[in-house]
Structure 1
């Protein structure tokens, strides 16, 4: 089968053996897969190992075969891949056996994947293959950060630095669905406009004076994945006693901040990463309830995977970058 792999420190399309569904596993013929920023960093992590690794965490497709003992899905079922491996019950932190699909396990940038039947969920009927293929990792990450950790509620004001990422688009939609007010930032006028189109109440430039721009706002919750470039600026616009959730660091991941200012302000800081199967199922129910559609930024064919990676590196996208597999 055709796959996009890392081999001896390089990314390339190659032929790989077709997997089989072993006991407790399913074989999924993939229709689409979603590229995440995590995938961009795997070449360095994999190093120069000679054995090829199929990367990719997100995907959606049709069950082609089931192994012995599988009862939750049948051949012909349309499913999405849950990339949060072996984290089933909602908990404060992931269990020790938790990992993310796509390294060290073979991932979704291939025509087929075999994995534990516990790692697939039925595809929401109202989603296209392109919408479903990039759903799980960013939507689950956003759902846990917003609801489990951030405890957002109707009437809260949410602040999101960086409006264009896949997670940010889910955060905007989730928050608006339950009646929160949403403020976003971006360097791109186009991304600011797109953010408002999908529900953001206020969209401001990254290089503007945030304190001045938001002097009449009360920010209850901030969710930041940018890192050092925005952490202190975000803290400056958060209300006293407000909550800030961090789930990533696309800039420098080491931050200096004023502890005295922090504890006098009674701020609350939470870390978050992906989420459990319980939360994934809650998120899917949320999508069904609100008939919500993920934002697809651009679609590439599997043969164009390198171009898709280059596109994501340039941060041009608004929404998910998708590979069409078959």
Structure 2
């Protein structure tokens, strides 16, 4: 097998030849056809992630064909096209992950390879309307967006939603999922090109979050927002409190801009706001996300597909955040 291996922080991945994998117990070998990048891969490569181990194969998203089985439980999956749930050992509490929770792609060897060993409990049939590349774009970001919107955000049809920082994988899925669920959606970005792309996927309006009075413009055009999906935090967080409707919900699945410099608690309690954290999702969230994708025939937005041999070029593209949607990898190339 071939694999793109991380051997040290702040260094390119190295393409290595390794022994072919063999399954044991209730696991299978998946011949990977496609994988996808997540911001998590970039942070690990920069050494900015807890519990980094070397050497390791990164990559949380993958789709392929089951080629070997370690037990009768896996034999029923042989030759089937599968998508992999990257969140392992969630635990018994649906409200939060257990201390044993792990994400595929460090410390567990991930999908930037030609094959991978996966326990059968994390296999799902590939949605039939998706190509291998489209399906590979779905797992981590799709799961994160689904939980933020529905499990944590309690989105209802007809509500008004803001998705901040449109263009990244989770934000793009959040836009697609919210539109499919009957919500009215607006987006923010510092890129007019990304805003224009979001309008093509159903956003009502888009705003440059660097503009002085974008919140006032959004209120005038769209009105207060019931649910806000945010991954940035930082100095722009106060604007989200201003735009949120009374009783509104703000769900954060990341903090790429760091903590807010201050939090106006008066606005939080006077407007009866709900500030909610979210990350990844339960096995039930993953199954429900796939059902939503299948019911509405949603197709992930794929920005570009590169071969495994060009994995470092893909990582470099993610560094500059120029993509709209997902960057994917052809694992056999």
The CA deviation string for residues 179-236 of structure 1, in whole angstroms up to 9 with x for no partner, is: 1100001111110111010111111112222221122312001010012142111111
Q: What residue number does 2:264 align with?
A: 258
Asked whether 1:211 is paired with 2:211, we answer no
Cα distance 1:255–1:246, how it changes in 2: closer, same or farther (>3 A)?
farther
Please list, as runs of the form range in 1=range in 2, the aligned pairs for 1:242-321 lying within 5 A after superposition.
Answer: 242-253=248-259, 255-321=261-327
In structure 1, the partner of 2:55 is 52
1:92-134 deviation per Cα after TM superposition (whole angstroms, max 9, x unaligned): 1012221111111100000000121111111000001111112
Count of residue pairs brought into register by the alignment: 325
From 202, 205, 215, the equivalent of 2:205 is 202
Cα distance in 1 between the residues matched to 2:33 and 2:92: 28
Q: Which segment drifts farther, 111-120 or 258-267? A: 258-267
2:275 aligned counterpart, secondary structure: strand
Paired with 2:261 and 2:21, the residues of 1 have a C-alpha distance of 43
**Helix, strand or coil for the counterpart of 1:131?**
helix
Q: Could you list the runs of 5+ residues in structure 2 that have no partner in the other structure?
A: none
Match of 1:166 in 2: 169
Where do 1:11-160 residues align within 5 Å?
11-43=13-45, 44=47, 45=49, 51-71=54-74, 73-87=76-90, 91-160=94-163
Q: Which runs of 5+ in 1 are unaligned?
A: none
Is residue 234 of structure 2 the alignment partner of residue 234 of structure 1? no
Question: Which piece of structure 1 moves more, 256-265 or 139-148?
Answer: 256-265
Whether the 8 Å CA contact 1:23–1:69 is kept in 2: the answer is no
TM-score, length-scaled by structure 2: 0.93
Does structure 2 conserve the Cα–Cα contact (< 8 Å) formed by 1:64 and 1:75?
Answer: yes
* Contact 2:91-2:97 within 8 A present in 1 as well: no
Distance in 1, Cα, partners of 2:204 & 2:79: 42
Question: Which of the numbers 311, 323, 331 marks the counterpart of 1:325?
Answer: 331
Tell whether the 8 Å contact from 1:159 to 1:219 is kept in structure 2 after alignment. yes
Task: Tell me the C-alpha RMSD between the 2 structures.
Answer: 1.7
C-alpha distance in 2 between matches for 1:77 and 1:57: 20
More deviation, 171-180/25-34? 171-180
What is the distance in 1 between the residues matched to 2:269 and 2:50? 40
Give the superposition deviation at 1:48: 9.3
Following TM superposition, where does structure 1 have runs of at least 4 consecutive aligned residues deviating by more than 3 angstroms? 45-49
CA distance in 2, matches of 1:37, 1:48: 15
Deviation at 1:32, TM superposition (A): 0.4
1:251-280, Cα deviation, whole Å (9 max, x unpaired)? 114552122232122110110000011111
SS at match of 2:226: strand
Measure how far apart 1:8 and its partner are.
3.2
SS for the counterpart of 1:41 is helix
Maintained 8 Å contact 2:241/2:267: no
Q: Return the alpha-carbon distance in structure 1 between the equivalents of residues 35 and 285 of structure 2.
A: 21
Q: Return 19-28 or 259-268, whichever deviates more.
A: 259-268
Structure 2 CA distance for aligned equivalents of residues 305 and 116 of structure 1: 26
Residue 3 of structure 1 contacts residue 14 of structure 1 at CA under 8 Å; is this kept in 2?
A: yes
Q: CA deviation at 1:73?
A: 4.0
CA contact (8 A) 2:23 2:29 kept: yes
Contact 1:8-1:47 within 8 A present in 2 as well? no
